[in-house]
Amino acid sequence: MEKLAVIALGGNAITRGDEKGTIEEQYKNSSDTIRNLIYLIKDGYNLVLSHGNGPQVGNILLRNDAGEEIYDIPQMPLDICVADSQGGIGYMLEKMLRNILKEEGIDREVVTIVTQVVVSKDDPAFENYTKRVGKLYSKERADEMAAKKGWVFKANSKNDDKWRRVVPSPEPKEIMNERIIKDLVNSGVIVIASGGGGIPVYYDEKGMLQALEAVIDKDAASSLLASRIGADEFYILTDVPYVYANYGTPQQKIMEFLNKEKITQMIDKGEFGEGSMLPKIKSALRFVENGGQKSVITEASKLEDRKFGSRITLN
């Protein structure tokens, strides 16, 4: 029986932290990452790929700002920017994947789905804006933008004399087109979906879909998608090969195998950073709690050499 895996590509799979983000850099990084996934396809896996979009959406927002300030071009709302990034990154990943499959002599179709993800308008996240997006502003300019557009700003964590827009990050509740994604992937099509956590939408009082100025955690949305389509395995690819205990200290230790009990102990001890590993750990654990066989957190090269990084199971 073929296995189904959902693979969440981290931001560094497309743009590295020390790069400008040119299209040449993004193509190379995407190609390098995808080549590490080929063995899964050769082993008969069906695949769904999701991806981060932080740097790309950030650049889209910067272009929005520049277009408005210089040419008086109306800014696009955040949901359109997320959709824009899904289409662009999906096209890039799909093209690279098709080329690599051809090189390997593998006959598989690939499709990209621009994915909406349903959230609750009553999510507590709408009372506490936490996700920073867009450019840095002076306090004076931030106040002007807040008055003009109703945006919320916070002092930038790394440079307190600059301010940055913040938006909510609600929990994903439903993946649109999940049945279609499941049908496609079960027929052998490699699907790219739920990019950047998906486009956040909600149902209004008439049952109509409406957009929200928010972002959804990519790993949380990918975990939900994996559960809803009945995936066997869930992979989160990041910039470290393993989950570590006492990370960044002389007592740092690789945690190759983790179960719910051990993860809970480590969370209670504050082992995982709120803005880095903790959301990944929670998403990986949620997948196995919902019936998945295992989650894996690692960097892409660990898939190719089959060392697999850190494996998370329920027991």
Q: What is the largest CA-CA distance in the chain?
A: 61
Is the same domain home to 189 and 272?
yes
Check residue 73 and report its DSSP letter. Answer: P
131 classed as catalytic: yes
Is the same domain home to 190 and 45?
yes
Is the same domain home to 92 and 222?
yes
* Tokens standing for residue 141: 């300019």
pLDDT of res. 67? 96
Is the same domain home to 138 and 210?
no
How, if at all, do strands 243-245 and 253-255 pair? antiparallel
Establish if 124 belongs to a structural domain. Answer: no
Q: Of 121, 131, 135, 282, which is the active-site residue?
A: 131
Choose from 36-40, 214-218, 307-311 the range with maximum mean pLDDT. Answer: 214-218
pLDDT of res. 102? 98
pLDDT of res. 178? 97
Mean pLDDT of 26-40: 92
Backbone angles phi, psi at 288, to 5 degrees: -75, -30
Is the same domain home to 196 and 298?
yes
Is the same domain home to 34 and 99?
yes
State percent of the chain over pLDDT 90.
84
Q: Of 12, 36, 46, 64, which is the active-site residue?
A: 12
- Say which range, 10-14, 263-267, 287-291, has the weakest mean pLDDT: 10-14
Q: Of 46, 53, 218, 302, which is the active-site residue?
A: 218
Q: Answer left, alpha or beta for residue 64, where phi above 0 means left and psi between -120 and 50 means alpha.
A: alpha
Is the same domain home to 275 and 182?
yes
Is the same domain home to 114 and 162?
no
Is 159's pLDDT higher than 70? no
Q: Of 46, 53, 280, 292, which is the active-site residue?
A: 280
302 classed as catalytic: no
Is the same domain home to 16 and 141?
no
Establish if 204 belongs to a structural domain. Answer: yes
Q: Which residue has the higher pLDDT, 299 or 12?
A: 299
- Say which range, 5-14, 75-84, 200-209, 245-254, has the weakest mean pLDDT: 5-14
12 classed as catalytic: yes
pLDDT of res. 305? 67
Task: Provide the CATH number for the domain around residue 94.
Answer: 3.40.1160.10
Q: 157 is in which domain, residue-wise? A: 129-167
Establish if 154 belongs to a structural domain. Answer: yes
pLDDT of res. 1? 57
